[in-house]
Amino acid sequence: MSALLEVDGLSKHYPVFERRLFRAAKQSEIRAVDGVSFTVNEGETLGLVGESGCGKTTTARSILNLVTPSDGAVRFRGEDIVPVFKGSDRARMLEIRRSLQYVFQDPWLSLNPRWTIGETLKEPLRVHRPEAPESWDARVAELLQMVGLEPHHAWRYPHEFSGGQRQRVGIARALAIEPKLLILDEPVSSLDVSVRAQILNLLVELQDRLGLAYLYISHDLSSVRYISTHVAVMYLGKLVEIGPVDDIFTRPRHHYTRALLSAIPVPSPGEAQDRVVLKGEVPSAMRRPAGCPFHPRCAAALPVCATDEPMLMQPSAPHRAACHNPA
């Protein structure tokens, strides 16, 4: 399987300024994303998981230059696209954006309430395919049917739909220009449980039909296990474990991953569950601990964990963990 998207050493740091007399001086920085590397292959799904605030969404937005990365490379089919977004070649930038599309977390906030659904779905066609306006109506009807809606829904407004239907519209908008990869930023977190299952099944069906690749961002580990082929775990802006989905869920090597998995609810309330309770709070991204960022909360920490930051082991191995004392 060939690599579609390669993220190499991606970082996003935000400066923090202290107000002084007549000027603002840089005091420190928030390392929201710090040296993240992973690969998404054609037709596969990489699940990116971690606690709220760990840098998942910032990673996704940095890939598409919705926020400008501080460092690192983002390669799409072998080409580093970061210089393209920073440059002046608008035609090449639009060409790349046609292949990489984003589905936002909140379908209500991501849709213009003053536009009909048809106008919303025509907008990417206006930008990327202005030469054939006579085909737009047919394409809108095709997209609506593709995501389980009806062609006459094109005349309705977002407030006339349920949350699940609005998310279907968001998916249809992302598919309008036939992308190769979708970045799905917690696409089911705001939906009811039954509707979540419908959207996840739709995403699986579309992937099989269209040959799409997904970067699926979520803190819902059950949905990650259902839809993903590989999983990457983030903690405090860093990647701490990555591997095939079955290996991550059955044989986690990083102690933070074990704690996350132990928090998944079990179907039977009386069933025994090996819970891993973490001590303390997540450290500030502005005052990250020396060594392993997880060591203040890790029950298996060694003295070396407080001084030396672990790297992801064996770059060629399918299952890697950044841990001095892996489980």
Residue 19 phi, psi dihedral angles, 5° rounding: -75, 120
In DSSP terms, 233 is beta-bridged to 49, 241
Q: What is the CA radius of gyration of the chain?
A: 21
Domains along the chain with CATH numbers? 3-17+28-248 (3.40.50.300)
Residue recorded with tokens 């309705």: 156
CA nearest to 125, candidates 107, 109, 138, 111: 138
Gap between the Cα atoms of 200 and 165, Å rounded:
13
pLDDT tens digits, the chain, 327 residues: what are they? Answer: 688 999 999 999 988 877 766 666 667 788 899 999 999 999 999 999 998 889 999 999 999 999 999 999 999 999 999 998 888 788 888 899 999 999 998 888 889 999 999 999 999 999 998 888 889 999 999 999 999 999 999 999 999 999 999 999 999 999 999 999 999 999 988 788 889 999 999 999 999 999 999 999 998 898 999 999 999 999 999 999 999 999 999 999 999 999 898 887 777 666 656 777 787 788 877 788 889 999 988 888 899 999 999 988 666 678 999 999 888
pLDDT for 1 equals 66
Gap between the Cα atoms of 205 and 225, Å rounded:
16
Gap between the Cα atoms of 202 and 192, Å rounded:
15
Start-to-end CA distance of the chain, whole Å, equals 29
Residue 305's Cβ-side half-sphere holds a number of Cα atoms within 13 Å equal to 18
Gap between the Cα atoms of 262 and 255, Å rounded:
11
Amino acid, single-letter form, for residue 224: V
Residue 294 phi, psi dihedral angles, 5° rounding: -95, -10
Q: How far is CA 299 from the centre of its chain?
A: 29
Total residue count of the chain as it appears in this document: 327
pLDDT for 58 equals 95
Residue 32 phi, psi dihedral angles, 5° rounding: -65, -40
pLDDT for 312 equals 84
CA nearest to 312, candidates 230, 221, 250, 234: 234
